[in-house]
Amino acid sequence: MTKQRRNDKATQTWSLPAAERLELLRMMIMAREFDAAMLRLYRQGKAFGGVYSQLGNEAVSVGTAYALDRTADVLFPMHRNIGAHFVFGQDLDTLMVNHLARAGSQMRGTDGTGHYADPAKRIYGNVSHLGAMIPVAAGFALASRMRGETCVALTYIGDGGAQVGEVHEALNFAAVQRIPLVLVIENNQYAYSTPSHLEFACEKLSDRAIGYGMAGVTIDGTDVELVLKTTQDAVARARRGDGPTIIETLTMRMRGHAEHDDFSYVPKEQLEEWAKKDPVERYAERLITDGVTTAESVAALRATTLADMIAAIDRAVELPWPDASEGFRNVFIDEVSA
Amino acid sequence: MIMTYLEAIADAMRQEMRRDPSVFMIGEDIGTYGGAFKLTKGFLDEFGPGRIMDAPISEAAIIGAAIGASLNGMRPIAEMQFIDFITNGFNQLVTVAGTTAYRWGLPVPMVVRGPSGGGVGGNPFHSRDPENWFVHATGLKVVCPAFPADAKGLMTASIRDNNPVIFFEHKGLYRKIKEDVPEGEYVVPLGQANVVRPGKHVSVICYGSAVHMALAAADTLSADGVDVEVVDIRTLVPFDEETVLASVRKTGRAVVAHEAVLTGGFGGEIVARITEKAFRYLDAPVVRVAAFDSPTPFAPTLEAAVLPNAEKLGQAIRNVVAF
Ligand SMILES: Cc1ncc(C[n+]2csc(CCOP(=O)(O)OP(=O)(O)O)c2C)c(N)n1
Ligand SMILES: [Mg+2]
């Protein structure tokens, strides 16, 4: 069951400087080419851990993170938000070393993928347990407020993960305390193999906001400027002290849950329908039409971005695994300072 | 100053909140009401609602928010109204709090505390002694004080610790025992067992309410010439193995006691350490005294029957001495 697009008129009266539009495109291309590079690694049999494509989610990750203040706010990304890491200034080598759990990883080999935390870049990754980090993100923002600072915490959850009990507790708590939290519910129609109608019975996941006493909106998640504008509004609301917002973004997970999954349970027509709304292609076309860039520049950007990704991955793959002694360190923090 | 166990815990928290503005409390009914056991009575007046936060009935949100705040420079103390309800926040502790240092190398300085334990007609849902679940979880410190002074000193140490600490307060001890508690700043470091009664013939290794059972049993047995040494381990994580082994090497006999259920309890771990590392010194098998493997029942007859007590422990000590 494909949900209808809503609210796509909001961007008509709103304009963004050309440089920023180009930056949004560049970030989305980075997200897309990251996928391509990881897929290549997977096919070479060199990927370690699951490869979770974010294909189709570029506009959500990039548009939401772009609305934040990288020096004051905080990002709690999930497994399909690689674009948000780029917006928050994560460099390719750090990202790949962390992802592939090689020596020098910020997680010392204890974990991999996008699960790392980089406090200097204000990125706190996820744990596998869906929904578990939402109360943590709320508490992070609450702590800043206790010190008289404003820090908006932005985090994500899927159409499946949104059914975890901790999500409810976190949202209610954040609403009661008017915590500056923005929760992006990425409704990409599937949770692993489970279609949305077996995950929830409400029409829109943002309708839950009413029950919590917070703002909620459902938008087309393939339109990066709409995502950005909507998130800016939510962030402004949070900063004013008017509490959290749920933004439900409608997209399609264009590949399997992870690369081992052939997603044969997804009807072909559904994929074809959504392919017409490809967020990266569409935005590139729009910027070309508006004279902000040219087809040649976009093609060149994609090629160099992919080459950069592959080079960073190749550098990371060549690195040794972390020393086995790391497995016995840091269970408690005292061992860090010792 | 003479204080109850409950007053001593409150004293430690009050002092740390005065000393360090990053310490705050979050929990259910802790503000105006002063907590289900009135432990935080007066806290709201002194520290205000910004630092004494009444939360909705959402243990996962309370613990999760505490984790997030601790990642962002604060030192939260999260109260579970009864420690039994920690099950609703289990995922936050086990999945997030206990793995953060290992994964991220970042401190998670927080305390989750609350009343545990049976013997007070609490029913199966207000009587648990779930401390060992968290020992097995990795990355969490586990504290079980038996005396007011220790409760104060260990609470101070727990608040200052850079790791998540779960602090089990035996509700049966809250107002039952009083003793002289050091005034002002008082720290009992985590990970130091205490020989609360020296003896020659047999060591009782225990913590929490079982320490009081052991002391009572030791008094009774001393009339028969049995000299019992009582070792209060005080913290399960970190575990002071050395003090326990030294005691057993000296006496050659050991009984391990706790109020929590027998199977999978921390007693099994203590026995394993003793047999692995002090086997040559043993003159008798090490015996455990613990609750029957059931939920804690409600009616006084049933509850008294399943829980350990000084008499049951005394009999076990006699058996070990007579072996
Ligand atoms: C609490 C929990 N249960 C199960 C899983 C296994 N799991 C990982 S991702 C996933 C599907 C998630 O779907 P959704 O939330 O819609 O996000 P999407 O992958 O579609 O972006 C499942 C079942 C998990 N990680 N956490
Ligand atoms: Mg999904």
pLDDT tens digit sequence for A148-166: 999 999 999 999 999 999 9
| Residue A101 at interface with chain B, using a CB cutoff of 8 Å | no
H or E segment to which residue A161 belongs: none
B167 and B22 in a common domain: yes
Is B296 within 8 Å of B204 (Cβ atoms)? Answer: no
> What is the interface pTM, i.e. ipTM, of the complex?
0.96
- Where among B180, B208, B242 does a domain terminate? B180
For residue B236, give its domain range: 194-322
The candidate with the shortest Cα–Cα distance to B258, out of B125, B135, B85, B86, is B135
Q: Which two tokens stand for residue B51?
A: 């630092």
| Residue B107 at interface with chain A, using a CB cutoff of 8 Å | yes
The candidate with the shortest Cα–Cα distance to B56, out of A146, A138, A129, A209, is A138
Q: Is the bond preceding B238 in cis, omega lying within 30 degrees of 0?
A: yes
B175 and B210 in a common domain: no
* Percent share of chain B, pLDDT over 90: 100
Distance from B119 to chain A by nearest Cα, in Å? 32
Is A129 within 8 Å of B95 (Cβ atoms)? Answer: yes
B267 and B171 in a common domain: no
Look at residue A9 and tell me whether its pLDDT is greater than 70: no
Confidence band of A12 (pLDDT split at 50, 70, 90):
low
Q: Domain map of chain A by residue range?
A: 48-319
B243 and B213 in a common domain: yes
Distance from B72 to chain A by nearest Cα, in Å? 6
| Residue B67 at interface with chain A, using a CB cutoff of 8 Å | yes
Identify which of A52, A55, A130 to mutate to test ligand 1's pocket (most ligand atoms within 8 A of the CB). Answer: A130
Within-domain flag for B185: no
Look at residue A4 and tell me whether its pLDDT is greater than 50: no
pLDDT digits (tens, 9 = 90+) for B165-175: 999 999 999 99
Distances (CA, A) of B246 to A221, A337, B107, B229, B269: 65, 29, 33, 11, 16
pLDDT of the residue at A13: 58
Identify the residue with better confidence: A7 or A240: A240
Look at residue A338 and tell me whether its pLDDT is greater than 50: no
Q: Residues near A237 by Cβ (< 8 Å), separated by ≥ 6? A: A215, A243, A245
Look at residue B153 and tell me whether its pLDDT is greater than 70: yes
| Cβ-based burial of A13 (10 A; exposed 0-12, middle 13-18, buried ≥19) | exposed
Which of A146, A329, A337 is best to mutate for the B interface (most B CBs within 10 A)?
Answer: A146
The candidate with the shortest Cα–Cα distance to A30, out of A62, A52, A78, is A62
- Where among B180, B206, B222 does a domain terminate? B180
* Cβ distance of A334 and B108 shorter than 8 Å: no
Question: Which of B71, B74, B163 has the CB atom closest to A146's CB atom?
Answer: B74
Beta-bridged to residue A191, according to DSSP, are: A194
B172 and B217 in a common domain: no
Average pLDDT, chain A: 94
- How many CB atoms sit inside 10 A of residue A89's CB? 12
B265 and B151 in a common domain: no
- Residue B256 is part of a domain; what is its CATH number? 3.40.50.920
| Residue B189 at interface with chain A, using a CB cutoff of 8 Å | no
| Residue B94 at interface with chain A, using a CB cutoff of 8 Å | no
Within-domain flag for B317: yes
Confidence band of A49 (pLDDT split at 50, 70, 90):
confident
Question: Which of B56, B68, B73 has the CB atom closest to A137's CB atom?
Answer: B68
Ligand 1 lining (C-beta closer than 6 Å): A 80, 128-130, 158-161, 164, 186, 188, 190-192, 253, 257
Report which residue type is found at A272.
E
Distance from B290 to chain A by nearest Cα, in Å? 29
B317 and B198 in a common domain: yes
B234 and B170 in a common domain: no
Look at residue B30 and tell me whether its pLDDT is greater than 50: yes
Within-domain flag for B171: yes
d(CA A245, CA A229): 13
Is B255 within 8 Å of B289 (Cβ atoms)? Answer: yes
Which of B25, B51, B54, B58 is best to mutate for the A interface (most A CBs within 10 A)?
Answer: B58
B126 is annotated as an active-site residue: yes
Within-domain flag for B153: yes
The candidate with the shortest Cα–Cα distance to A301, out of A57, A24, A16, A18, is A24
B143 and B211 in a common domain: no
Beta-bridged to residue B78, according to DSSP, are: B26, B112
B206 and B74 in a common domain: no
- Atom 23 in ligand 1: residue holding the nearest Cα: A192
pLDDT digits (tens, 9 = 90+) for B49-107: 999 999 999 999 999 999 999 999 999 999 999 999 999 999 999 999 999 999 999 99
Within-domain flag for B113: yes
When divided into structural domains, chain B yields a total of 2
Q: Which two tokens stand for residue A63?
A: 């548009």
pLDDT of the residue at B256: 98
B302 and B254 in a common domain: yes
B114 and B176 in a common domain: yes
Residues lying with their CB under 5 A of ligand 2, a single-atom ion: A 158-159, 188, 191
Helix, strand, coil % (nearest 5) of chain B?
A: 40, 20, 40
Q: Which CATH architecture has domain A48-319?
A: 3-Layer(aba) Sandwich (3.40)
Phi, psi of A236 (to 5 degrees): -65, -40
d(CA B62, CA B41): 20
pLDDT of the residue at A14: 73
Within-domain flag for B290: yes
- Residue B162 is part of a domain; what is its CATH number? 3.40.50.970
Look at residue B308 and tell me whether its pLDDT is greater than 70: yes
Within-domain flag for B189: no
pLDDT digits (tens, 9 = 90+) for B219-234: 999 999 999 999 999 9
**Which pTM was predicted?**
0.96
